[in-house]
Amino acid sequence: MFPVTEDPILSVRNLKKHYPITQGILSRQVGAAKAVDGISFDIAEGETLGLVGESGCGKSTAASSIIRLEEATEGEVIFNGGDRAGRSRNGDGSHPNDVTTFDDEELKAFRRDAQMIFQDPSSSLDPRMTVGSSVAELLLVHGMTDKQRRREIVEDLLERVGLEAEYYDRYPHEFSGGQKQRIALARALVLNPEFIVADEPVSALDVSIRAEILSLLNDIQEEFGLSMLFISHDMSVVREVCDRVAVMYLGEIVEIGDTDEVFSNPQHPYTEALLSAIPRPDPSAQRENIELKGTVPSPTNPPSGCKFHTRCHMVIQSDEFDLEQERWRALLTFRDRVRSGEVDPESIREALALENDDPSSIDDETIKQELRMEFDLAEELYDPEAESILQDALDALADGRIEDANEQLSTFTTPCEKEVPQETDHGNGHLSSCLRNKPETEHGAPLADD
């Protein structure tokens, strides 16, 4: 996704990070785990962009690749790169400000301007060093040999982040989690950077401390004019601190836009599901909590088409059928579980027989009823053609004919598994990738009451 940002401080272009999967004595590569699979965005000066999604979606890997703690597989990370159209590129097409191509000297200079705050401050502080020495170490690495000057700078920073200057000589074990995160923030600021990556900086903290750290981050950003990539799985935190938000799923950004716009008018079903999970202060407020009931895919073998279709509560039906959305989702989930070999009618029969005083009563009809109940398939689908196909598949399963069941269930298909969604521009930099937003097609149905 390429939202337009004039003179961004950071431009990420088609960034990928794939981890090879090897096999055998010779460690031949047989595949790859696509942790980050082609993300693009800009961050303007003084802006905070939130990168949000469930655990395992690739957020932290993206952060590590951007800050060059890990080597990207492909793509560009252009820092202070000027013209986004590429007129400042080298003759070979590369960009002189592409972090992924920096040599050691350039990378050291980049480290002055870009810093990272980690989720667990305890693991990023050396227990054998005083906290003052840990913060001052960066100044020494970058050439400040005056020990007294280093101490003065660090003591000043400790006070700016809400601690005491005298804490300089204490050790990490003497501080609480919130205090350690303040120390980590001081260390990130000690080189006076322009850009900070904050990777889940408050997720390990108590709720009461979390608010203090978020408020401090806001104050520090204003005071120092920082740009920030703020990574979180908590949508309520993102709403509080971020100017824009990018929603990430299975290595891809599926929606990006101004925070208020995305929260008030989500255009991707995954965003809608994440927002539905935000706790509300009024327990009597009516709101649908969206439960994602499908199959969780793996980054080593991502689904075809839209990567979210295996869990999507709004997955598009084929033209042949007309079912309630919930029943259609359940039908596709059942199909996928049978296809993957997770449905074993004989095991169900044996389990029911153990529970029943009369094992002989566990006939095929009982097995079929159990399968319907387990997969929320309803006693009868109101689409006659869909019901007939399902009945044939259930008959085959009860009879142990798994391949025949697979053949019947393969009739149920969705455009979402065949077509990769392209981005749709909803105006003002609000972009999403969902077939339901595809213009001028039968898929352009609204996600909610918008």
Give backbone dihedrals phi and psi of 417, rounded to 5 degrees, phi first. -95, -5
Task: Say yes or no: 108 and 238 in one domain.
Answer: yes
Other Cβ atoms within 10 Å of 78 Cβ, number: 23
Residue 304, pLDDT above cutoff 50: yes
d(CA 165, CA 152): 9
Residue 450, pLDDT above cutoff 50: no
What average pLDDT does range 382-410 have in this prediction?
93
Mean pLDDT score of the chain: 88
In a domain, 405, yes or no: yes
Residue 414, pLDDT above cutoff 70: yes
Task: Say yes or no: 83 and 217 in one domain.
Answer: yes
Task: Say yes or no: 243 and 334 in one domain.
Answer: no
Residue 121, pLDDT above cutoff 70: yes
Task: Say yes or no: 218 and 341 in one domain.
Answer: no
Domain count, the chain: 2
Other Cβ atoms within 10 Å of 174 Cβ, number: 11
Q: In this structure, are residues 116 and 197 in contact, taking their beta carbons and an 8 Å threshold?
A: yes
Task: Say yes or no: 338 and 228 in one domain.
Answer: no
Edge-to-edge strands, sheet with 28-43: 28-43, 10-23, 74-79
Q: Could you list the residue range(s) of the whole structural domain that residue 363 is in?
A: 325-413
Per-residue confidence band for 17, with pLDDT thresholds at 50, 70 and 90: very high
* Rg of the chain in Å (alpha carbons): 26
Closest CA to 64 of 98, 100, 113: 100
Task: Say yes or no: 239 and 335 in one domain.
Answer: no
Edge-to-edge strands, sheet with 227-232: 114-117, 195-199, 227-232, 48-52, 244-249, 252-258, 431-433, 423-425
> How far does Cα 398 stand from its chain's mean position?
40
Matching residue, tokens 């204490």: 170
Q: In this structure, are residues 172 and 122 in contact, taking their beta carbons and an 8 Å threshold?
A: yes
CA distance to 7, 36, 90, 252, 291, per residue, from 307 (Å) = 32, 13, 36, 9, 17
In a domain, 286, yes or no: no
pLDDT of residue 254: 97
In a domain, 188, yes or no: yes
What average pLDDT does range 5-17 have in this prediction?
89
In a domain, 165, yes or no: no
d(CA 142, CA 187): 13
In a domain, 245, yes or no: yes
pLDDT of residue 395: 93
In a domain, 43, yes or no: yes
Task: Say yes or no: 205 and 267 in one domain.
Answer: yes
Residue 78, pLDDT above cutoff 70: yes
CATH number where 63 lies: 3.40.50.300
- The residue with greater pLDDT, 244 or 93, is 244
pLDDT of residue 282: 62
Task: Please give the model's pTM, rounded to 2 decimal places.
Answer: 0.88
Q: How many CA atoms are closer than 13 Å to the CA of 35, on its beta-carbon side?
A: 20
d(CA 224, CA 330): 51
For the chain, what percent of residues have pLDDT higher than 70? 90
In a domain, 315, yes or no: no
Task: Say yes or no: 24 and 83 in one domain.
Answer: yes
Other Cβ atoms within 10 Å of 381 Cβ, number: 23
Task: Say yes or no: 22 and 90 in one domain.
Answer: yes
